[in-house]
Amino acid sequence: MTPPETHPSHPTDQSVHTDAEVDAWSDEELEEEPVFQTDESSALIGSVIVHLVIILALALAPLHEIIDEEAVVLVSPPTTELTEEIKIVEDVTYDEPADEVGAASETETAMAEASAQDFSEIPVITNPIEMEKSDFADIMVTEVFQPSTAQFDRLTQRTGKTGVQTAGAVGAVDRLSFEILQSLEERKTLVVWLFDQSGSLHRQRQQIRDRFDRIYTEVGIANPEIDRAKQKRGLMDHDAPLLTSIIGFGGQQPMLFTDPPTQDIEEIKTILDDIEVDTSGVENVFTAVKTACDKYKTLRKSRGGNGPQRNVMFVVVTDERGDDDNQLEPAIDACRRSGIPVHVIGVPAPFGRKHTFVKYVDPDPKFDQSPQFAQVDQGPESLIPEYVQVGFTADFKDEKPIDSGFGPYALTRLCYETNGIFFAVHPNRAMNRTVSRRELSPFASELTRFFDAEVMKPYRPDYLSPGDYRARVEASPLRRALVTAANQSKPVQGIGRPRTRFVQTDVARLAGELTIAQQGAAKLEPTLQRLAQILEPGMKLRDAEESPRWRAGYDLAMGRVLAQKVRTETYNAMLAKAKRGMTFEKEKNNTWLLKPADEISVGSKWEREAKKASDLLNNVVSEHDGTPWAYLAQQELAVPIGWKWEETFTDLTPRPNRPAGNNNNNNPPQDDKKRMLKKAPKRPVPKL
């Protein structure tokens, strides 16, 4: 049976079948509609016609050019003048009084400082531009470019200057005249002068007293009109632009000499002439500042939304650090709350020390005028000492005091926190050389070396509250080690003029003399070893310390302690070596000399420590040039760390006795008349 015939399916058959199921368009739907019969075309044509009509209307309107017959066209050729380069002075030292103040002074713009809320180190002042008066308008060019001035009663996030150096109080007063002038431009001002009544400040008080005429003249009040009626009734003259108050302080309660404040210059001079000298030797300066703030803080309160009644500023004049630093924080808080800046005409603090000496000359010419040196408290420049006192000899006084570059910590911080200025006054300030005692002016502190303020800026101490300071020290092993070493019970003393000459008459006697010489070094070794152990933890963090002051302090301390340690221990070891016996190379010689040398011949351990000390000290010299740390490191490097034995000959032959008689050396006759002259009586130095 034959199967039915089959035909294979084709793809085209399937597609045709699918198309057949789609609805086809009719012929009417596919016929095109005329263009001009559509709604869109009609709207387009209408819009074009309307716009053409508007354009034609505007084209037919008459056009007239308005000409201002009074207009003037100025044509100026391009300027060919050369512009002079202006060099900005970063800082100014006021050594001599200026004839004028502020921008009118000889120092011009350098006398002015920017007074924006964030304190600027670069002085900025606008230059007045002279222009002819216009008939059309007043052109206020200087008003347009007037610098912004911070409100006087806003001291938040604003700090004062801490290292302004001057050779005399007069230069500081001239600089303060500019501050007074700035204050007067804002509102009426009261300046409160707080004078240390100690005898050592006698001459500075007189210098400032003679300068008060100049102050009033420079601020534009040469002859102030005094309301005598109010003066007699003891009332403050609220119309006076500038008033002055005088307060004295010493060991007792502060004394107010002007109540109410005055603008009578002669009265001010008389008060300063009559201030009694305080002989207690105590200066309660911070108590005086707090008392003055409580007295005049009402002048800083806003009255009816018009701001404070007056600006108030304090000027402290003292040559010591103050004995009541427990009142520093209350004084800062009170002045900041009332917006009262505190300026201090003070003295530079000795580097790393609490005390120095003042050249005292009796202020009364009826008494002996020969100089005497008395100890005064003028330091240190930091909250607590950060300098490890390692003397070059047994007596630490032989290491002369040097300038720290800053004022005493508490007074300088008072200025820093209240937006004031600390003036470090020293009449014998000289750079790059040693100042001898003979050069010192009367009442000047003994500082043998001074350092440039610009160089010292990065080395400013940490002006923090005691709590914040100690917290930062505790957070850093390097700082903690340095402060701990620096505040040992007493200064470390090096080998005090060690014996270095030994005559060998017999071996037993030489051994006994060597043993006695070893005793001094043996007593010193434990102290130096303990200091090295205290400082050692900071070595690992030297590179991580960001403060140049702390790095310099640590490297100097560790370098000097290691140098003294090696110098002392190798001295002891060299004497021990000699006791074991040494032979002279020359038969004639009979004496051993122990001389400083760079070589270490008694142990590799000391060689490594000596190299470490030299590396640290050389690092201080290279990285901190021009600072007290570099100066002391150079002195330490000048003394070799090791020792070496040398031999020589000593003549032991007894010298013959000289015959009795004067050998025709007749003394010249004494000047009996001169000897009989009555000398001026000499008074003891009072407590300063």
**Pair of tokens at residue 249:** 């302080």
Q: Is 366 found in the same domain as 221?
A: yes
Handedness of CA 266, 269, 273, 274 (dihedral sign): positive
Same domain for 492 and 440, yes or no, is no
Cβ pair 441, 184 in contact under 8 A: no
pLDDT at 166: 66
pLDDT for position 215: 84
Q: Is the pLDDT of residue 8 over 70?
A: no
Question: Has residue 88 got a pLDDT over 90?
Answer: no
**82 domain-assigned:** no
Rounded distance between C-alpha atoms, residue 71 and residue 69, angstroms: 6
> Does 330 share its domain with 362?
yes
Identify whether residues 304 and 403 lie together within a single domain.
yes
CA separation for the pair 122, 607 (Å, rounded): 49
CA torsion, ordered 116, 118, 121, 127, to nearest 10 deg: -20
Question: Does residue 274 share a domain with residue 370?
Answer: yes
Within a domain: residue 551? yes
Instruction: Give the confidence band of 669 by pLDDT, cuts at 50, 70, 90.
Output: low
- pLDDT of 55 > 80? The answer is no
Give residue 461's pLDDT: 96
For residue 194, what are the contacts with CB-CB under 8 A and spacing of at least 6? Answer: 247, 248, 249, 254, 285, 288, 289, 292, 314, 315, 316, 317
Percentage with pLDDT > 90 across the chain: 49
**What is the bridge-based pairing of β-strands 311-317 and 591-597?**
unpaired
Q: Work out the pLDDT band at 245, boundaries 50, 70, 90.
A: very high
Residue 340 and residue 272 share a domain: yes
Tell which of 441, 467, 493 closes a domain: 467
Q: What is the pLDDT of residue 672?
A: 55
Rounded to 10 deg, the angle between the 507-535 and 548-579 helix axes is 160
pLDDT computed for residue 24 by the predictor: 41
State the pLDDT at residue 131.
39
Q: What is the residue range of 437's domain?
A: 155-467
Strands (E), 448-590: 501-503
Confidence of residue 92 (pLDDT cuts 50, 70, 90): very low
DSSP for 16-29 reads HHHHTTSPPPPHHH
Give yes or no: residues 201 and 322 share one domain. Answer: yes
> Distance (Å, rounded) from C-alpha 215 to C-alpha 211?
6
pTM beyond cutoff 0.75: no
Of 205, 215, 208, nearest in space to 100 by CA: 215
Residue 285 has phi, psi (to 5 degrees) of -70, -40
Structure confidence by residue, pLDDT tens digits, 171-213:
888 889 999 999 999 999 999 999 999 888 888 888 898 888 8
- Higher pLDDT: 103 or 254? It is 254
- Both 447 and 490 in one domain: the answer is no
Residue-wise pLDDT for 391-405, tens only, equals 654 333 467 899 999
For 31, 377, 404, 485, the CA distances from 381, given in Å and listed in that order, are 105, 11, 7, 17
Average pLDDT over residues 537-550: 94
pLDDT, tens digit, for every residue of 211-233?
888 888 887 776 677 777 777 77
pLDDT by residue (tens digit) across 332-369? 999 999 999 999 999 999 999 999 999 988 888 889 88
Assess if residue 245 is contained within a domain.
Answer: yes
Residue 28 has pLDDT above 60, yes or no: no
Q: What is the pLDDT of residues 294-337, one digit of tens each?
A: 999 999 988 777 789 999 999 999 999 999 999 999 999 999 99
Which string of DSSP letters, residue by residue, matches 33-66?
Answer: PPGGGSHHHHHHHHHHHHHHHHHHHHHHS-----
3-state secondary structure of 539: helix
pLDDT at 532: 95
**pLDDT score recorded for residue 670:** 58
Q: Are residues 505 and 644 in the same domain?
A: yes
Residues 443 and 539 in one domain: no
Q: Which residue has the higher pLDDT, 29 or 434?
A: 434
516 and 445 within one domain: no
Q: Output the average pLDDT for the chain.
A: 78
User: Does any domain span residue 558?
Assistant: yes
Q: What is the largest CA-CA distance in the chain?
A: 181
In a domain, 91, yes or no: no
Task: Confirm whether 137 is domain-assigned.
Answer: no
DSSP code of residue 225: P
* Shared domain check, 497 and 446: no
Tokens of 109: 């713009």
Q: How confident is the model at residue 291 (pLDDT cuts 50, 70, 90)?
A: very high
Would residue 298 count as lying in a domain?
Answer: yes
Binned at pLDDT 50, 70 and 90, residue 101 comes out as very low
Q: Does residue 19 belong to any structural domain of this protein?
A: no
Q: How many residues can be counted in the chain? A: 688
The domain spanning residue 177 has which CATH number?
Answer: 3.40.50.410
Number of domains in the chain: 2
